[in-house]
A and B are shown apart, each in its own frame.
Chain A
Amino acid sequence: KAGVTQTPRYLIKTRGQQVTLSCSPISGHRSVSWYQQTPGQGLQFLFEYFSETQRNKGNFPGRFSGRQFSNSRSEMNVSTLELGDSALYLCASRPPGQSTGELFFGEGSRLTVL
């Protein structure tokens, strides 16, 4: 069974640009969460989607947005990039019927903002 797939794995952008990251969850998983990981702040929750609806949102500015498609694939977008947005963005999916804590993570998309 394929794991969580994130694309692209690495990308470099400049300040002011926007970026879109993609996540394909494990087949059959309908819940997709996004986390930002930085050396200073660790892993921080961005948002969670289930059946194309955002169920939870973390404390990030409105420049961070996401969506989920009918096939459970998810995208997140960051507009007007800032240097501080440089981070590893992790997507995770959860099996149906499993508790919040049991997440399967992808390998992440490493964003560098210059």
Chain B
Amino acid sequence: QKEVEQDPGPLSVPEGAIVSLNCTYSNSAFQYFMWYRQYSRKGPELLMYTYSSGNKEDGRFTAQVDKSSKYISLFIRDSQPSDSATYLCATPSNTGKLIFGQGTTLQVKP
């Protein structure tokens, strides 16, 4: 079992839709979580960073962590074609390396 699981998709939605991207993790010791966005032929870029359970909002993006169920989510409101990318969840291990989910490919159609 992978330490961080993520449905690779692809996920296709119409412009303006609310998008929900999800990951599960296996180790309850994981303390904080990140979402990275990766455009085609580019490296990942940090999108959001959450330390604890609950929600964190940044513009159209909301990151949610539920530690009781080991579930993390990223919601995108009013999705735009420019949001089309691969979204990766990640968490640091106790040895300091980042553990990534497989990544979910999102396409927002105009």
Whether A4 is near chain B, meaning CB under 8 Å from some CB there, is yes
Q: Provide the B62-90 mask, 1 if CB < 8 A to any CB of A, else 0.
A: 00000000000000000000000000101
- Chain A residue, CB-CB nearest to B90: A101
Residues of A in contact (CB 8 Å), total 23
Considering the complex, which residues of chain B in the window 38-68 have a beta carbon less than 8 Å from any beta carbon of chain A? 41-46, 49
Residues of B in contact (CB 8 Å), total 23
15 CB-based A-B contacts, threshold 8 Å: A35-B100, A42-B88, A43-B98, A44-B100, A45-B97, A58-B97, A99-B32, A100-B98, A101-B46, A101-B92, A102-B46, A102-B49, A105-B43, A107-B42, A107-B43
Assembly CA distance A55 to B96 (angstroms): 9
Query: Please, which residues of chain A bring their CB within 8 A of the CB of B98?
Result: 33, 35, 43, 45, 100-101, 103
